[in-house]
Each structure stands twice: as structure tokens, then as C-alpha cells.
């Protein structure tokens, strides 16, 4: 569903942020993207979603090249950015309806989906208030609702749990599993290794923009016997 081939991003002519990065995310999978601060996760995610143009390499979403068929590719993506502080002068409801307009979601479908998701996240009473007055976690919840309102098959989420309370994080994790089990996929970055451990079918670990591990956590733990995931992560990303 996501095919990244030889992605490379050079900032400012000489700083290589992501290099030689290739992976496939398949139907039914939740794949976690891990790596230290500055490893290149957000840069990669922005190339996958067509926000940043790669210096070289290609991205295909359900077979549509993100540069050659951007609208087709982007219609399939639900994207959550790493910062929810946008459109703060809109109410939650105005924001999510604006996103639904962009994606051409019918009135009936959007009403149902917004109600469902607002209920899951306990946001029903806040929808008609300006997002400027929301807490960080409430803004994050609206970003999730906005990203999923058009029922995208391919979820690409940049640190989606940040700021969510345990109840909302639990709901989101449950939604991610349901979504993958329905034959879709989820690719998300996280610093919370327990989340990766519990939720992911596979992980992709990057260091200084290059892939250093792709596979299941069981295989990784098998290779590093008697070590916790935290120890393995620290060893691999620092060595």
C-alpha cells in the first residue's frame, strides 16, 4: 500500500537528512517507525505524503506515484502531522467540515463519522468551541478526526499519541488495529517503545537517515537475547 524506493533528502545543498531508504507497507500491517530525535522520521513522512519533494527516489501509494498522480495518491492518505497547532481560529467542527469539504465527503457520511469519532474521544462538547482554547491533547484529537474523516485506507501518522490521555491513546490504538485488520495499513512514528512493542507487526528503525533494521520485534529480540527493547534501541541507535 506504501512503497518507498531509495528515498533521499538533502537539505540546503549539503545536509543529507534521509538516504537510501526503501520499504513496503502491506495490507493488514501496522508498522512503527522509530529512531532518535533528528533521525529523519518526519522528513521521511513528509516525503511519503507529498509535502516534501525527495531529492531522489520515489513514493507510491496504492500504486499511484505521489509526484505523478498526487491527487489520487493523497486521496488514499490519512495524515497526522507532528504539530496540531493549526487553524486555531476555527472551531473543531468548522475544521473537520473544512477537511471533509476538501475530500468531498458527503454530508451524511461526515455527520456519522464525526459523531462516532468525537464520541470515542470524548470531544462532543468541544466541537463548537474554537481550537485556540483547546488543550494540546484536544487539538491532537481533532487532528485525528480530521485526518480520518474521509475514510482513507493508508494512515501515515507522525507521533500520533503525543499529548493524548490514556483513554484517548487506548482508543486510537484500538482504531489503528481495527483499521489494519480491515485490510488497510498504518505507518506511524513513535518514541514510545512500549507502544511499538504492543501494537506493531513490524518496525523500521532509522539512524542518521538510513534504515538500520526492518522486521518484527520478535526477530530483533531473538538477535539480542536477554535485552529489553529499550536496551536494544539504545545500543543500535548509539553504536
Q: Give me the residues that bind ligand ATP (CB under 6 A), please.
A: 11-12, 15, 17, 35, 37-43, 82
Residue 66 or 118: the one with the smaller Cβ distance to ligand ATP is 66
35, interface contact from Mg ion, ligand ATP, none, CB < 5-8 Å by kind: ligand ATP
CB of 9 to ligand ATP, least distance (A): 8
Residue (97 or 140) nearer to ligand ATP, CB: 140
What whole-number distance in Å separates Cα of residue 198 and Cα of residue 194? 6
Quote the CA–CA distance of 205 and 73 in Å, as a whole number.
25
Report the DSSP pairing between strands 15-25 and 2-11. Answer: antiparallel
Question: Considering CB distances under 5 to 8 angstroms, the limit depending on partner class, which of ligand ATP, Mg ion, none binds residue 17?
Answer: ligand ATP
CA proximity to 124, closest of 89, 93, 94, 167: 93
* Cβ proximity to ligand ATP, 43 vs 140, nearer residue: 43
**Any residues with CB less than 8 A from the CB of 126 and at least 6 apart, and which?**
92, 134, 138
40 vs 54, which CB is nearer to ligand ATP? 40
Least separation in angstroms between residue 13's CB and Mg ion is 22
Instruction: Rule CB under 5 A: say whether 42 interacts with Mg ion.
Output: yes
Tell me which residues in 50-89 interact with Mg ion (CB under 5 A).
82
Cβ–Cβ < 8 Å for 154, 61: yes
Size of the site for Mg ion (CB under 5 A): 3
d(Cα 122, Cα 80) in Å, to the nearest integer? 19
Instruction: Give the separation between CA 31 and CA 130, rounded to whole angstroms.
Output: 34
Contact residues toward Mg ion (CB under 5 A) are 41-42, 82
Amino acid at each position: 500500500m506504501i512503497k518507498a524506493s531509495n528515498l533521499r533528502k538533502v537539505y540546503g545543498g549539503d545536509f543529507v537528512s534521509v538516504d537510501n531508504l526503501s520499504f513496503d507497507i502491506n495490507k493488514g500491517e501496522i508498522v512503527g517507525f522509530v529512531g532518535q530525535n533528528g533521525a529523519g522520521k518526519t522528513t521521511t513522512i513528509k516525503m511519503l505524503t507529498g509535502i516534501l519533494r525527495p531529492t531522489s527516489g520515489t513514493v507510491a501509494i496504492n500504486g499511484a506515484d505521489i509526484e505523478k498522480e498526487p491527487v489520487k495518491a493523497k486521496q488514499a492518505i490519512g495524515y497526522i502531522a507532528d504539530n496540531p497547532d493549526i487553524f486555531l481560529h476555527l472551531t473543531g467542527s468548522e475544521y473537520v467540515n473544512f477537511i471533509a469539504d476538501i475530500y468531498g465527503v458527503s454530508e451524511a457520511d461526515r455527520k456519522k463519522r464525526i459523531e462516532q469519532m468525537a464520541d470515542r474521544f470524548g470531544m462532543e462538547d468541544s466541537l463548537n468551541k474554537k481550537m485556540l482554547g483547546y488543550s494540546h491533547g484536544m487539538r491532537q484529537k481533532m487532528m485525528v478526526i480530521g485526518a480520518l474523516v474521509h475514510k482513507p485506507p493508508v494512515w501515515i501518522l507522525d507521533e500520533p499519541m503525543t499529548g493524548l490521555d490514556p483513554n484517548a491513546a487506548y482508543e486510537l490504538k484500538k482504531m489503528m488495529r481495527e483499521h489494519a485488520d480491515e485490510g488497510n495499513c498504518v505507518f506511524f512514528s513513535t518514541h514510545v517503545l512500549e507502544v511499538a512493542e504492543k501494537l506493531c507487526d513490524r518496525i523500521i528503525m532509522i539512524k542518521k537517515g538510513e534504515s538500520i533494521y526492518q522486521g518484527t520485534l520478535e526477530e530483533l529480540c531473538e538477535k539480542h537475547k536477554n535485552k529489553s527493547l529499550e536496551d536494544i534501541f539504545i545500543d543500535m541507535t548509539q553504536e
